[in-house]
């Protein structure tokens, strides 16, 4: 029996997924959580074999939760199951140690098969996303440019961003200018939107 942990902040989605997976004779859902920062403890307490994680969750996003899970409970494999099929999310999830990445509208039978394959140590990736990820390539943004856009997303001024990141205002302006240029945007708000849409900037 493969023991599953489901992590999704939408209770209805989580419940539907649990009901479908529990119909499979070799799968059993042993834990359900609605926050990313509850994943590691639940996986450890319930001896989960595979964790199905959403990307966007409160407390800790799914990619960060996957990274912590692989570090603290290495025997539990990770399958990302998300509404947001963005190539950048796929790259970040795989870099964090996820074994698979599928979208939520995957048919139940295919989802169950993905769980089994991940449990066996195989990689499972939505083929459309895989093709998009290859075509798109790596994020053009540096880590610092990504940090600046992340803080800028909340609508802060240059001074606010500088204070939050312990940088000078001139350095912040330089990073914003570079990020706007690299994303092909006209404004910093558009740069943030494009970075989110491409999955370079996690929620």
Show the domain range for 112: 2-136
| Mean pLDDT confidence for 183-198 | 85
Which domain-ending residue is among 136, 161, 186?
136
Both structure tokens of 5: 């942990």
Which pLDDT does position 131 carry in this prediction? Answer: 61
Smallest CA-to-CA distance from 76 within 58, 55, 100, 109 is with 100
Q: Kindly give, in sequence order, each residue whose CB lies less than 8 Å from that of residue 95, ignoring residues fewer than 6 positions away.
A: none
| Mean pLDDT confidence for 39-51 | 97
Which pLDDT does position 134 carry in this prediction? Answer: 55
Question: How many structural domains compose the chain?
Answer: 2
Tell me: do 128 and 149 sit in the same domain: no
Tell me: do 148 and 113 sit in the same domain: no
21 inside domain: yes
Contact 78, 97 (CB under 8 A): yes
Q: Kindly give, in sequence order, each residue whose CB lies less than 8 Å from that of residue 45, ignoring residues fewer than 6 positions away.
A: 31
Exposure string over 28-42, b if 16+ CB within 10 A, otherwise e: ebbbbbbebbbbbeb
168 inside domain: yes
Dump pLDDT digits (tens) for 134-178.
Answer: 556 677 888 899 889 989 988 888 999 999 999 999 999 999 989
Q: Across all residues in the chain, what is the average pLDDT?
A: 89
CATH number of the domain residue 103 falls in? 3.40.50.2300
**With helix as H, strand as E and coil as C, how does 149-180 read?**
HHHHCCCCCHHHHHHHHCCCHHHHHHHHHHHH
Tell me: do 106 and 11 sit in the same domain: yes
Provide φ and ψ at 45, rounded to 5°.
-65, -35
Tell me: do 179 and 93 sit in the same domain: no
**With helix as H, strand as E and coil as C, how does 51-113 read?**
EEECCCCCCCCHHHHHHHHHHHCCCCEEEEEECCCCHHHHHHHHHCCCCEEEECCCCHHHHHH
Tell me: do 49 and 117 sit in the same domain: yes
203 inside domain: no
202 inside domain: no
Which domain-ending residue is among 113, 136, 159?
136
Which pLDDT does position 196 carry in this prediction? Answer: 82
Rounded percentage of the chain residues whose pLDDT exceeds 90? 59
Q: Kindly give, in sequence order, each residue whose CB lies less than 8 Å from that of residue 197, ignoring residues fewer than 6 positions away.
A: 86
Tell me: do 155 and 118 sit in the same domain: no
Judge whether residue 62 has pLDDT over 90. Answer: yes
- In the block, residue with structure tokens 């950048």: 88
| Mean pLDDT confidence for 18-44 | 96
Which pLDDT does position 136 carry in this prediction? Answer: 62
Decide which of 71 and 203 is more confident. 71
Tell me: do 117 and 157 sit in the same domain: no
48 inside domain: yes
């Amino acid at each position: 029996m493969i023991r599953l942990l489901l992590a999704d902040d939408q209770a209805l989605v989580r419940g539907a997924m649990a009901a479908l997976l529990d119909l499979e004779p070799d799968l059993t859902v042993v834990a359900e959580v609605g926050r990313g920062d509850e994943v590691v403890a639940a996986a450890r307490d319930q001896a989960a074999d595979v964790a199905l994680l959403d990307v966007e969750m409160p407390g800790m996003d799914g990619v960060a939760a996957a990274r912590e899970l692989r570090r603290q409970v290495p025997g539990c494999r990770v399958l990302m199951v998300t509404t947001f099929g963005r190539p950048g999310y796929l790259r970040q999830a795989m870099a964090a140690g996820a074994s698979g990445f599928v979208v939520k509208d995957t048919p139940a039978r295919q989802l169950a098969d993905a769980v089994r394959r991940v449990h066996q140590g195989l990689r499972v990736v939505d083929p459309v996303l895989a093709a998009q990820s290859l075509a798109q390539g790596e994020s053009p943004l540096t880590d610092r440019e990504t940090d600046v856009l992340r803080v800028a997303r909340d609508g802060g001024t240059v001074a606010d961003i500088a204070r939050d990141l312990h940088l000078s205002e001139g350095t912040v302006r330089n990073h914003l200018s570079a990020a706007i240029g690299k994303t092909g945007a006209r404004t910093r708000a558009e740069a943030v939107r494009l970075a989110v849409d491409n999955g370079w900037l996690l929620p």
